[in-house]
Structure 1
Amino acid sequence: MYIQGTPSFLVSSALSSPCPSAKYKQDNQHITQRGLVKWLEEEHKVQVTQATVSMTLTRSAELLDGCTEMKNVNQKTRRPVMYPDMEKALVEWIQEYQLVVNVSRDMICQKGKKMLKRLHPSAPPFNFSPGWLDKFKTRHQIQSRRRFGESGSVNMVVCVDALSAIRKVLDEYSLEDIYNMDETRLFYRMQADNSLATKQLEGRKQNKERITIVICCNADGNDKLPLCIIGKSLKPRCFKHLNMEALGCRYHANKNAWMTQGVFRLWLLAFDRRMEGRNVILLMDNCSAHIRKEDLENHNIHLKNTQLFYLPPNTTSKLQPCDAGIIRTFKAYYRRRFNNILLQRLEANVDNPEKISNLEGMQIAMAAWKEDVKPTMIQNCFRHCKLRTEDAGQETTLEELEPPADVIAELEQQIARLPYTNPMDIRNLLNYPNEDGAAEIPTDDNITENILRQFLPATQEDVDDDDSEEQPVITTRQATAALAQLELFWMQQTNNQPEYCDILQKMKDSLSQISEQKLRQTTIRSFFSRS
């Protein structure tokens, strides 16, 4: 069977999974995209363009994340489904809504009709028959489960009562094996001026200015996981030419830059793999995006190294370490770094100095988390929540839970230097109300739009929403000159720290290896072109 000029999602259905090319590339790093095209044709009898292979490899990390989990080993070979994108959207809708509504067979069929019309407006009538529904549920391992009403708001008495049950579980774990994750929104361009912030974040501008940050760390503070960042743009211009594996964080995107169950699933599977060989417990709140323990199998999640523990509803401000001060401290360091960039750009007379790109905002966030947030701060916040019996009698001071006094003082000095007419109070800046909440249950339109965005060219709305600029490709010659300048700069400093020059030397050595490798590739291509 040959399939020419086919979109990547149809090629995926012909292969039963999008994994083969991504997996083959992972196991054979030397192979080129042209070689992959030939391999797909010979091995799978599928003829695709190099552009399709390129698009598949761009999503290779995500595809490989879910590849093994999504495959049912007992599943017999079946004919490719007619509308795999519709089924993908329908599965996502079921996963998101089964927490809040009893999803019936009729509801699934009706929703499937609407999504098919949304994704394929000119498609001929499709029979959502009982037979199709049974096969659909088998393909995606969907099981029926009846939902019952949720309990009401939890008061402080319930919060105190819950601690005894929590301690009974957590006392069995060492500090290094107790993790907490939470999400927070971040307006990464927001200035510390009440008037400017209101104007800057009004209406649809909020979507451009906002990313969601997923923070996770353990109780002894020595394992801060790389950030997971959720943006609005699937492929921002500033990401072009970048090696996404070297980004330093996990990046996902959807229409509203929210945490969803789909994103959470990928994050959780990656977390569990990272904990290989250990037995850890992960504390989370019970927001709608966090898949419940009893629903893990329905989402094809099989954890080997991780136990999940959901904090009682409406208690996270008291019982969740990330809410106790970790996120607030992270944002203090982010704002300090952002303000430094603002001051530098103002001094250089840069137009719209606050207009940093998605990539720059992510780099600031990663530096604030990795370099600035200290293990002692994390330890204080876990101890403050008194989640273990040994912490019950210990008291923490407000100073131990807040960003360091010197950071707050520097923020105040920065704000005083910036040309603001109505400067924010530091407390309001670090607890900005519109940054609360970072998860949602997506609407039908959100789901189908996110599916379409993966396979279709960017719409005008996507282009308008992405106001970043494409970064130029840096040549080895330019990189060599830049490193030489940096080395000379540090050698001229009176308070020079030798380790910086050592780091630069390692970078120069690595750059030399890259140059030699490119030279060998150029020589080989020249040889074959002559012959």
Structure 2
Amino acid sequence: MSQEAALQGLSSSSAPARQIWSQKEKLEIQTYCNLHPGKTWKQVQQWFADNHTGKAPDQSQISRWKKRDPPTSDEKFRPEQKRIKEGKFPELEAALFEWHQRMQTRTNITGMILQHKAHFFWVNLPMYKNLPESEEPKWSTGWLSRFKQRYGICQFIQHGEAVSAPDDEEDILMYKEQHEIYNMDETALFWRMTPDSSLTTEQLSGFKKDKNRMTAALCSNADASDKCPPWFIGKSQNPRAFSNINRNTLGCHYRANKTAWMATVIMKEWLLWFNYRMSVRRRNSIFLLDNFSAHNCAVEELEKEGHLTHVKVLFFLPGITSKHQPMDQGIIRAWKAYYRRHMLLYLTECLDKDAALVEPHKYINLLHAISWATEAWREGVKETTIQNCFLKAKVKVYGPGIPDNLHLRYPDREVRMEMNRLEDELEAVSGALNIHDPLLIEQLLDHADEIVQDEELTEREIEDSIIQQYHQAEEQVEEELEDIPVEVISHKEAIAALERLHLYEMQQEDGVAGAEWVRREKKSVIQRELLENGRKKERNIIGYFRKM
């Protein structure tokens, strides 16, 4: 065959065109992997093919997209776009856009002001401020035009809709089922705070107050059929207490930043996660939010990009949130009561083991707090409490899911009765600790510093809060000397603990027969892992002798 013929044959049998995947498709893969961490790449590939055109990315692409940081943090992207066209300084532009969103209702923001603020963030954001002065861009009108185009800045648009007027409720909520209406709210939690007034004063002073606080984001629908896994925000990216812990087993989501508060970056990630949960359930939900600045900025940006495909966001008007936000009607308070109950029982157990133990609260670590907080939300807060709080909030007073005898029901009274029961339990447990100067239950459950308030900040305070988001969360926050790293449990120790638990169960008059099956199954899994580890060691030893 001649060289010319060979070249013709080669060109006629060219490789198939490379498949280009959109940002939306990549995000779907990434979100699915985050929600199903145990799935293999073949299972992910099959899921994608079944829900699309039959084509699916290969193993290397799936692996790469799983590891990549989601485009919810600082990037602006369009779902059908094949390649992201972003500026050269994405963090600066994201900070500038957030500043614009938070300030545009106060003053007229001109192009010159945006250029001036671009310089301000250049010299203050940690990733740029130490660069040579010669590397700072000129912030020209050309850059300004491209920035405004990337972020869709033209004029202020009041996004979302207010849930206030009866007409709005009738049009938007009347025909929605209870399971389609959601509310999310954040609260701070001083996770080491005890009922001892003198200790609390010490714990909530200065640096310790900041270190012992985390933020919780709780969300549920009106009939409590979908209590979303909680999100927690701390200060440490990798807390010492999380060493050797598989975070996928925690039953919650953990994020961190320098302030341990909800920020726009995290809120965007939360909303995309929630939107995906609704999409896989083929549900279009009404999502009620207060006007916290992080909420506003995140929703506006995602709505402009068309990412909230299964979520309709409704904002409470300022001034009515305290009366009409369901989470504020007793749900968060009940969750805190269950959390404090877990904590106080733990302190009681510590003192039972060692009556001479001084300040046992210092042995509580973040893993304890996250575990108790998740358990308090998942198993503690009752469905009836959530349902009554939604009724009490009156976000919907008629239509599907609302009982005909609503006027005969007293959701407010039922919520108070549930809280009184919890408060009585807390007082009983607190009494067992022999506290000399106890806090009032109201102070323990409604501490003023745990309320997330988005008060009217000054421009400088807004700038500082934005800059803080871009300071990387600390790898490990400095902890108390008394903090003890979590013990690593061996396979043999786990089997011994299971046997001991089984013996305890058999000795109880009301022992559960089904517990034996659970113990046997778990023991079998541990023994298989122990056997496999032994085989690996044996293979290593055999290989060593062969080399000799």
Unaligned 5+ segments in structure 1 are 1-15, 31-42, 45-53, 149-157
Deviation for aligned residue 1:114: 3.2
Percent identity over the alignment is 31
Tell whether 2:105 aligns with 1:105: no
User: Equivalent residue for 1:325?
Assistant: 330
Q: Give the letter aligned to residue 70 of structure 1.
A: F
Deviation for aligned residue 1:474: 3.4
Tell whether 2:175 aligns with 1:172: yes
User: Equivalent residue for 1:371?
Assistant: 379
User: Equivalent residue for 2:343?
Assistant: 338
Give the Cα separation in 1 of the matches to 2:475 and 2:535: 37
* Match 1:393 to one of 391, 395, 407: 407
Change beyond 3 A, Cα 1:337–1:25: closer
Asked if structure 1 preserves the Cα contact closer than 8 Å seen for 2:264 and 2:297, the reply is no
Asked if structure 1 preserves the Cα contact closer than 8 Å seen for 2:75 and 2:90, the reply is no
Q: Give the letter aligned to residue 314 of structure 1.
A: G
Asked if structure 2 preserves the Cα contact closer than 8 Å seen for 1:99 and 1:147, the reply is no
Q: Give the letter aligned to residue 260 of structure 1.
A: A
Give the Cα separation in 1 of the matches to 2:318 and 2:532: 56
Tell whether 2:358 aligns with 1:358: no
Deviation for aligned residue 1:227: 0.7
Deviation for aligned residue 1:528: 8.3
Paired residues for 1:130-529 under 5 Å: 130-138=141-149, 140-146=150-156, 162-276=165-279, 277-291=282-296, 295-297=300-302, 300=305, 302-349=307-354, 350-355=357-362, 356-390=364-398, 393-396=407-410, 398-402=412-416, 403-437=418-452, 443-453=462-472, 458=475, 462-463=477-478, 468-515=483-530, 518=533
Tell whether 2:132 aligns with 1:123: yes
Give the Cα separation in 2 of the matches to 1:304 and 1:345: 49
Change beyond 3 A, Cα 1:24–1:326: closer
Change beyond 3 A, Cα 1:60–1:470: farther
Asked if structure 2 preserves the Cα contact closer than 8 Å seen for 1:272 and 1:303, the reply is yes
Deviation for aligned residue 1:87: 4.2
Q: Give the letter aligned to residue 143 of structure 1.
A: I
Deviation for aligned residue 1:168: 3.6
Q: Give the letter aligned to residue 180 of structure 2.
A: D
Asked if structure 2 preserves the Cα contact closer than 8 Å seen for 1:213 and 1:227, the reply is yes
* Match 2:70 to one of 50, 55, 63: 63
Counterpart secondary structure, 2:296: coil
Asked if structure 1 preserves the Cα contact closer than 8 Å seen for 2:329 and 2:393, the reply is yes
Asked if structure 1 preserves the Cα contact closer than 8 Å seen for 2:193 and 2:203, the reply is yes
Q: Give the letter aligned to residue 357 of structure 1.
A: N
Give the Cα separation in 2 of the matches to 1:469 and 1:299: 47
Q: Give the letter aligned to residue 342 of structure 2.
A: R
Asked if structure 1 preserves the Cα contact closer than 8 Å seen for 2:268 and 2:298, the reply is no
Change beyond 3 A, Cα 1:508–1:98: farther
Asked if structure 1 preserves the Cα contact closer than 8 Å seen for 2:330 and 2:415, the reply is yes
Asked if structure 2 preserves the Cα contact closer than 8 Å seen for 1:167 and 1:387, the reply is no
Give the Cα separation in 1 of the matches to 2:259 and 2:268: 18
Give the Cα separation in 2 of the matches to 1:517 and 1:104: 67
Q: Give the letter aligned to residue 319 of structure 2.
A: N
Q: Give the letter aligned to residue 256 of structure 2.
A: A
Change beyond 3 A, Cα 1:527–1:90: farther
Counterpart secondary structure, 1:275: helix
Larger Rg: 2
Asked if structure 2 preserves the Cα contact closer than 8 Å seen for 1:217 and 1:223, the reply is yes
Give the Cα separation in 2 of the matches to 1:528 and 1:107: 70
- TM-score when scaled to structure 2? 0.74
When structure 1 is superposed on structure 2, of 269-278 and 237-246 the one drifting more is 237-246
Deviation for aligned residue 1:63: 2.2
Asked if structure 1 preserves the Cα contact closer than 8 Å seen for 2:259 and 2:468, the reply is no
Deviation for aligned residue 1:113: 2.6
Give the Cα separation in 2 of the matches to 1:75 and 1:436: 42
Q: Give the letter aligned to residue 185 of structure 1.
A: A
Deviation for aligned residue 1:439: 5.4
Give the Cα separation in 2 of the matches to 1:263 and 1:24: 15
Give the Cα separation in 1 of the matches to 2:375 and 2:31: 34
When structure 1 is superposed on structure 2, of 241-250 and 115-124 the one drifting more is 115-124
Give the Cα separation in 1 of the matches to 2:74 and 2:462: 26
Q: CA offsets, 1:299-343, max 9 Å, x none? A: 645112111111221112221211111111111111111111111
Asked if structure 2 preserves the Cα contact closer than 8 Å seen for 1:383 and 1:394, the reply is no
User: Equivalent residue for 1:51?
Assistant: none
User: Equivalent residue for 1:155?
Assistant: none
Give the Cα separation in 2 of the matches to 1:524 and 1:109: 65
Give the Cα separation in 2 of the matches to 1:145 and 1:434: 36
Query: How many residue pairs end up in the alignment?
Result: 475
Q: Give the letter aligned to residue 141 of structure 1.
A: Y
Give the Cα separation in 1 of the matches to 2:256 and 2:31: 26
Deviation for aligned residue 1:224: 0.8
Give the Cα separation in 2 of the matches to 1:61 and 1:166: 41
Deviation for aligned residue 1:424: 2.1
Deviation for aligned residue 1:272: 1.0
Change beyond 3 A, Cα 1:288–1:344: same
When structure 1 is superposed on structure 2, of 82-91 and 371-380 the one drifting more is 82-91
- TM-score when scaled to structure 1? 0.77
Change beyond 3 A, Cα 1:502–1:257: same
Unaligned 5+ segments in structure 2 are 1-22, 34-38, 43-59
